[in-house]
Amino acid sequence: MRYKVLYFVASLLIILPGLYFLITSGLKLGIDFTGGALLEYSFQKNVDANDLKQQISSEGIEVGQITPVSDNTYIIRTKPVDQSKINKLKDDLGGKFGKVEDRRVEFVGPVIGNELRQKSLIGVTLASIVIVLYIAFSFRKIPKPASSWRFGIAAVVALVHDVLVVIGAFAILGKFFGVEVDTLFVTALLTIIGFSVHDTIVVFDRIRENLAKHMGRKFIDVANLSVIQTLGRSLNTSLTVVFVLLAMLLFGGETIRWFVVALLVGIISGTYSSIFNATALLVWWEEKLGH
Amino acid sequence: MHSRWILWTIIVLTILALWINIPPLPQVPALKILGKRVELLGKFPLKLGLDLQGGTELILETQMDKIAPADRDSALESAKNVIERRVNLYGISDTVVQTSKLGEQRRILVELPGLKDASAAANLVGKIAKLDFREMPATLSAQEIEATKSGLPIIALAKPTGLTGADLKRAQVTFGSSSGARSGPQVSIEFTDQGAKKFADITRRNIGKPLAIFLDDEPVSEPTVSQEIDGGNAVITGQFTTQQAKNLAIDLNAGALPVPIKIIQQNSIGPTLGQQSVNKSLIAGIIGLTIVAIYMAAYYGILGLVADTALVVYTLLVLAFIRTGLFILPPVTLTLAGIAGFILSIGMAVDANILIFERMKEEIRWGKSKTLALDLGFKRAWSSIWASNVSSLMTAAILYGMGTSLIRGFAITLAIGVLFSMFTSYVVTRTFLRLIIR
């Protein structure tokens, strides 16, 4: 923990580019947030993406993006649109391009989009507050002079770090690869919050134990010892979760791909932050402000 | 000894879970007991969500601004009934039509599993209910007689009167005087001023004849007119049960209080895509599980194999729970997000084992005997496992509270996974280790 300033700088270096793109261009919000439709149509005959786009536009539906999935199967994203137009679309396309199967029709009205935005914000905030309270409560018997509130706040700092890393990463992915964020992304964020705290608690729990065992030793030494003792577990656990996620990424299919990527980034960041942010912050706090 | 008992319980539970999870196999014939065929396997099929089996989910928002606040709840009930009736025309099983009320927002959720033509369903459900009164034709034309002979009921030939739902104010269940023919539940209708005039005309023309009431072009009731009714208040009597009277009032209100409906969310997944998702996640799950098992065995040796066994028990138990809900709770409907939550929970289940093993290693390094290290390792690792899993459960609860069905599916399996992982690490791993380390 001697190089704690370095750890903070490393975190900043990772977060800042993401933050830059988050502020300048923001996240690319999917239809779950903005309203609109996502349609996956599979045609029997050869259909050109441009013809398809033209036909859809001619029905008064604003096309956002058309991406081919496989032969003659396209995913079409539209701007906010009237639901009745979407229902007519399939028949019209069938008339023009021959037999068509709608493999997926997702329509989200603007009301729902706004609601999700609110709910996500409330969810993330609520999770953070509950976690500070929970950690402060479960570490309440920590040997004086340490304060259980500091543990709670340090855990949340680590958690905010992880959330920022993931959101930043997706701001960059959105800017350069057009990756959109949706309901699953919010789910991923909340899961990462859970994981991040999971990791931090394991380290903190050891610090608590060691504080009682080694009364009189400096806090920084106790923290160092605890980190080293829990390092094997932290790495092994993260590795197994990363294995599982990699399997999901490679074999799990298109629908959950970016969800898994978000989780991967978050888990790796969570392992780092529980040691190098949360614990380092506790040490820094102790040195600067005393007890 | 104590742990022998636990071991046997674990074995019995595992076999039970295995039986619940094995799909029906052609090699295993059904038993014949007392002349009845009894299948031995596949009694608890997985309940798949719409995103996996294919189907359509619609969220409809009702627009109540033109309806008096006091009538809004019954208008919602009527709108729901109308939709239920339309949906039933499709003859699909397991359809769900539910209302929800949040503040002043009244919504209807419709789930149509396995339905292919999503657009048609959305069109059908989104229409406003149409109620009208029709009189029976006095004489049938030759053509109409022909039609009746070919099986068309006479009621289908009823002629519109121009009296529609718009002329109705409201309908409600009332009870007649306790004696005589008019006792029991009946349905009172109140007409608007214009409706009252039309109704008086129609009843005068049709005394002694049935006057049919149609909802969405389907007859719902054919009361007989007993006298001319002016003044705009009518009563439909008959041998109603209270429930029947209630249903008729709801149907009439669907016309009297027509609610414009807007689809605010639609999710339709074709069966092909659903099946693909199932296959892909199955493969991903098996591969993930295998890699984790190999890693644990390679890193922790015998201990790792113990963890792997516990992992298999864990997987079987969780799947059995998802299928049966332990016979107390309803079975869990598995969605794509739910599968992701489950696969993820495998990682968390292993974590508990890793925590325990690392702790045991340390205790041994500090000079404790193996048996003592086992007990201490468990005791000391448990505080971490407990604290971290409780925080995961809290996150799952918050996720569930956010209420979107997608997120809920994920939260439920994650929570189940966390709970079962605590059980398997505390009971299963420990019992196995006690048997190995003596």
Domain boundaries, chain B: 49-131+260-268, 132-239, 271-436
Q: How far is B384 from chain A (nearest CA, A)?
A: 5
pLDDT value at residue B149: 65
Amino acid at position A63, single letter: V
Taking alpha carbons only, the member of B33, B42, B1, B56 closest to residue B273 is B56
Work out the number of other CB atoms within 10 angstroms of the CB of residue A80: 16
Cβ of A243 within 8 Å of Cβ of B403? The answer is no
Task: Examine the fold and report which residue of A80, A108, A136 is the final residue of a domain before the chain moves on.
Answer: A108
pLDDT of residue B376 exceeding 70: yes
User: Inter-chain contact A247–B390, Cβ cutoff 8 Å?
Assistant: no
Q: What is the pLDDT of residues B73-120, one digit of tens each?
A: 888 888 888 888 777 777 777 788 888 887 778 898 888 887 767 677
Q: What is the mean pLDDT of chain B?
A: 82
pLDDT value of residue A4: 78
Task: Calculate how close chain A gets to B296, using CA atoms only, in Å.
Answer: 9
Nearest CA in chain B to A242: B347
Domain that holds residue A96: 36-108
Is B263–A107 a contact, with Cβ atoms under 8 angstroms apart? yes
Residues A197 and A280 in one domain: yes
Interval B31-54 mean pLDDT: 76
The whole-number pLDDT of residue B177 equals 63
ipTM over 0.90: no
Q: How far is CA B348 from the centre of its chain?
A: 29
Structure tokens at A248: 């999901």
Closest CA–CA distance from residue A224 to any residue of chain B (Å): 16
> Helix, strand, or coil here: B261?
strand
Tokens representing residue B27 in the block: 């090699």
pLDDT of B180 > 60? The answer is: no
Q: Assign residue B159 a region: left if phi > 0, alpha if psi is -120 to 50, beta otherwise?
A: beta
- Considering the domain architecture, whether residues A116 and A103 belong to the same structural domain is answered as no
- By C-alpha distance, which of B342, B272, B334, B277 is closest to A254? B277
Peptide bond into B331 cis (omega under 30): no
The Cα–Cα gap between A268 and A264 comes to 6
Mention the CATH class of domain B271-436: mainly alpha
Does residue A229 share a domain with residue A197? yes
For B17-155, strand residue ranges (E) read: 31-33, 36-38, 47-48, 55-62, 96-102, 105-113, 131-135
Asked if B284 lies within 8 A of A102 by C-beta distance, the reply is: no
Q: For residue A262, what pLDDT is reported?
A: 94
pLDDT tops 60 at residue B181:
no
Residues A8 and A152 in one domain: yes
Return contacts of B280-286, CB within 8 angstroms, 24+ apart: B280/A251, B280/A252, B280/A253, B281/A248, B281/A252, B281/A253, B281/A256, B281/B336, B281/B339, B281/B340, B281/B343, B283/A251, B284/A247, B284/A248, B284/A250, B284/A251, B284/A252, B284/A253, B284/B343, B285/A247, B285/B339, B285/B342, B285/B343, B285/B346
pLDDT value at B155 more than 80 = no
Reading the block at residue B338, the tokens are: 């739910």
- The ranges of chain A with pLDDT < 70 are 143-146, 290-291
B384 and A260 within 8 Å at the Cβ level: the answer is no
How high is the pLDDT of residue A161?
92
Domain co-membership, A87 together with A52: yes
Buried b (16+ CB within 10 A) or exposed e, B239-267: ebeeeebbbbbbbbbbbbbbbebebbbbb
pLDDT at residue B308 in the model: 92
* Percent of chain B whose pLDDT exceeds 90: 8
Q: Which residues contact B256 (CB under 8 A, 6 or more apart)?
A: B131, B165, B168, B169, B170, B171
Distance from CA of B99 to the nearest CA of A (A): 16
User: Which of A89, A195, A240 has the CB atom closest to B292's CB atom?
Assistant: A240
Position A170 scores a pLDDT of 95
Quick check: B270 and A101 CB within 8 A? Answer: yes
In terms of pLDDT, which residue wins out, B399 or B308?
B308
Tell me the pLDDT tens digit for each residue of B306-337. Answer: 999 999 999 999 999 988 887 888 888 888 88
| Residue B314: per-residue pLDDT | 93
> Which CATH number characterizes residue A56's domain?
3.30.70.3400
Q: Is the pLDDT at B151 greater than 70, yes or no?
A: no
CATH code that applies to domain B132-239: 3.30.1360.200
Interface with A, mutate which of B278, B398, B413, B425 (most A CBs under 10 A): B398
pLDDT reported for residue B139: 63
Are residues A152 and A90 part of one domain? no
Name the most confidently modeled range: A187-196, B137-146, B300-309, B381-390: B300-309
Within 8 A of B60 by CB-CB distance, chain A residues are none
Rounded CA separation B261/B108 (Å): 9
| Residues of chain A contacting B296 with CB distance shorter than 8 Å | 240
**Of A108, A133, A166, which residue constitutes the final position of a domain?**
A108
Residue in chain A lying closest to B387 (CA): A201
Report the domain count for chain A.
Answer: 2
Residues of A whose CB is below 8 A from B280: 251-253
> Distance between CA A46 and CA B82 in Å, rounded?
41
Of all residues in chain B, the one with the smallest CA distance to A128 is: B395
Side-chain-side CA neighbours of B99 within 13 Å: the count stands at: 19
Count CB neighbours of B113 within 10 A: 18
- Name every chain A residue with its beta carbon within 8 A of the beta carbon of B407: 183, 186-187
Is residue B298 scored above 90 in pLDDT?
yes
Instruction: Identify which has the larger pLDDT, B57 or B438.
Output: B57
Cβ contacts from A onto B, under 8 A:
216
> A131 near B391, Cβ under 8 Å?
yes
Q: Check whether residue A136 and residue A176 sit in a common domain.
A: yes
Q: Which of A233, A257, A263, A274 has the most B C-beta neighbours within 10 Å, making it the best mutation to test the interface with B?
A: A233
Last residue of a domain, one of A45, A80, A108: A108
Q: Give chain B positions within 8 Å (CB) of A103.
A: 269-270, 272-273
E strand residue ranges, B222-293? 233-236, 261-269
Report pLDDT for B28: 65
Strands B47-48 and B333-334: parallel
**pLDDT tens digits, one per residue of B401-435:** 876 777 888 888 989 999 999 889 888 988 888 88
In CATH terms, is domain B49-131+260-268 a member of 3.30.70.3220? yes
pLDDT score recorded for residue B140? 64
pTM (predicted TM-score): 0.80
Q: B269 has which bridge partners?
A: A104, B55
Q: Which two tokens stand for residue B218?
A: 């389907």
The DSSP 8-state label assigned to residue A276 in this structure reads I
8 Å CB contact of A251 and B396: no
Highest mean pLDDT among A164-168, B350-354, B382-386 belongs to: A164-168
CATH of the domain at A153: 1.20.1640.10
Same domain, A280 and A142: yes
